[in-house]
Amino acid sequence: MRIIDCGVIGFHETFAMQEKLAAGIADGSEDEILMLLEHPPVYTIGSGGDHANILDPAITVERINRGGDVTWHGPGQVVGYPLVNLGKRGRDLHRWLRFLEEMLIATLAAFGISGQRHNNSTGVWAEHGKIAFIGVGVRRWVTMHGFCLNVRPDLHAYDRINPCGLPGCPVSSMALEGGLPHSEAAVKTRLRKSFMQLLNERLPQDTILIEKYAHKMERILS
């Protein structure tokens, strides 16, 4: 697993990178990758998203090949694009979504913020509203797109949409929730740690399962 801090980078540039890397992971020429970054302001909407959730017709919204509805990315928000080969990790998209939620909840907890799931809707909520957003796609069982965590963005950007297609959905940030001091750099560091701690525990590769089984059989037979 490689982890890349891409800094501030445009949405279209990272999308092109994801497509190229996902193809390489699927054919075995690339390692799995977690891209962490920040985007200049951009609104995106999933392939099945409803344009009625775009409240301001003056904004430009990019339609992309992920699940979920309309959301916003911009300064003060950390975005993560994990490119993980689910073909070797159980082929369970539902478990992948729950993993991302658990990883984000663990990251928030490290800063003294309580995050939780809410009403069977994908993502993570805190006391004052939705704080982390998830929208994924899969190519040949390699994941694309991923999650974003509001650190200290201008939350007024969400006034122009129904976030995730949820009318009246309150939106929060780590700054609004309080907790320990934080910065985008500190949040990225914690995200890396939470991601790597939980990945092989929650979504082990087949080879890891085989090794555990072999060790178990050795103990039984010895």
Show which residues are catalytic. 164
Question: Longest Cα pair distance anywhere in the chain, in angstroms?
Answer: 71
75 class by beta-carbon count within 10 Å (0-12 exposed, 13-18 middle, 19+ buried): middle
CB-based contacts of 147: which residues, under 8 Å, 6+ apart?
Answer: 79, 80, 100, 104, 132, 133, 134, 135
CA distance 34 to 39: 16
For every residue of 123-135, DSSP letters joined together read EEEETTEEEEEEE
SS3 assignment, position 210: helix
For residue 37, give the DSSP letter: E
For every residue of 48-95, DSSP letters joined together read T--GGGB--TTS-EEE-SSSS-EEEE-TTEEEEEEE-BGGGTTS-HHH
Starting from the edge strand earliest in sequence, which strands make up the sheet with 2-8, in order?
2-8, 33-38, 77-83, 142-150, 129-139, 121-126, 116-118
